[in-house]
Amino acid sequence: MNSKLIGSSLIIAGTAIGGGMLAMPIISSGVGFTGITIVMILIWLTMCYTAILLVETYKDNNPEDGLSTMTYKYLGKAGSIVTGISMLTLMYALVSAYIAGGSDILRLNLSNWLKTDISPQVTAFIFTVLFGGIVGLGARVVDIATRWIFIIKLIFLLIVIIVMFGYVRIDNLLQMPIESKLFFSSIPVIFTSFGFHIVVPSMVKYLDGDIKLLKKAFIYGSLLPLIVYIIWQLSILGSIDSNTFFTIIKETQGLEAVILAVNGVSESKWMNIPLNIFFAAAILTSFLGVALALFDYVKDLSKKKAFGKNSIIIYLITFIPPLLFALYYPKGFVIALSYAAISVVITSLFIPVLMYIKVKKERQEPISFLQKIAFSLIFAFGTSILVIQVLMTAGVLPILD
């Protein structure tokens, strides 16, 4: 298999598989394994399809063009502005969150090794310079780094899964504790877990606009998270009954809840070690993927400016805002992240379909009846996620962390 194809597939998968994956079983506890698996497969099909649509729009275009250039060309100034706001809000929020999470892990480990307390400002700066530096060196270096970190991530996740598989019971997997409110609230969370479209322009450039290779990369790169998510859900939901999950949700949340659940089932206190290593590796691969996409997007936005070819200035514009927010106003990006589903709907569903339709018209190629049905379903799905997000914000539906 082509080396670049492997690397780009892992960058796509690494961008999608973040630390939040560990808490997926908690989010899915009110839906059941069968229900959440069906939801994940349908979302994967939708996201993979729209990624391929976005790749198709590059067919007769310069692979160096970023999404800002592409949306301006096909959707005009208004489309470019909406896409820009959505992309920048999402990517700056994610990079800031990963800097905060990564620096916390770095601070904890350095403090233990050096036997002294290190300030979060110092570790945040070290994390940004070190791993942001990898991004600044380009997609090839990100590719190599992602491969090794991804392997580490899978090894430690596999350790947990192998242990938990020994406790899987068919009865737990067949439980269908579908609560309508939890079911609807889980959809935006699962949806954002397949948010890899932001790396499309970077991958187009990295693979020199090879459409055939790009399609394979996004199929493989999106399929890997789906497989990992299903196996992870199976190992946890299959080994712990739904009543236990509901108790855990009331008492704790997120990674801590999963660690408690896994330790409780395996009757071992050491299981938090592979879980925490996976969490750290997941933050790194996601940071590298999102930061690369942000770096390329800022570069595309700035190419008509006087500093457009100055990589140092592009680097500073990419990393200084999220670093400052991570240090001095983390709540600002936490708020932005709570609305991540809205940005992902716009950039991953609406924009690819609208651009593809415009491209087909320019090429004077007909849109098939099946495609029209698919596009209608995609818009209906995207709109339903926006409605769910509004209902969650209004308190009508529960917010899942």
Helices (H), 57-165: 67-114, 120-136, 139-165
| Residue 132 included in any domain | yes
Q: Is a pLDDT exceeding 90 seen at residue 44? A: yes
Q: Give me the domain span that covers residue 327.
A: 3-393
Tell me the CATH number at 25. 1.20.1740.10
Query: Which positions ≥6 away from 156 have C-beta within 8 Å?
Result: 274, 275, 277, 278, 281
The tokens for 341 are: 């589903």
Residue 261 · residue 23 · CB < 8 Å: no
| Residue 294 included in any domain | yes
Mean pLDDT (the chain) is 85
DSSP annotation of 22 reads G
Q: What is the pLDDT of residue 333?
A: 60
Q: Is the dihedral of CA 24, 25, 27, 31 positive or negative?
A: positive
Query: Which positions ≥6 away from 226 have C-beta within 8 Å?
Result: 40, 41, 44, 194
Residue 340 · residue 93 · CB < 8 Å: yes
Instruction: Give residue-wise pLDDT tens across range 97-125.
Output: 888 888 888 887 788 788 788 888 888 89
| Residue 353 included in any domain | yes
Burial class (CB in 10 A: 0-12, 13-18, 19+), 162: exposed
Lowest mean pLDDT among 75-84, 158-167, 251-260: 251-260
Q: Is a pLDDT exceeding 80 seen at residue 182? A: no
Residue 231 · residue 36 · CB < 8 Å: no
Q: What is the pLDDT of residue 280?
A: 86
Residue 217 · residue 5 · CB < 8 Å: yes
Domain count, the chain: 1
| Alpha-carbon span 309 to 45, nearest angstrom | 38
| Alpha-carbon span 72 to 80, nearest angstrom | 5
| Residue 401 included in any domain | no
| Residue 400 included in any domain | no
| Residue 399 included in any domain | no
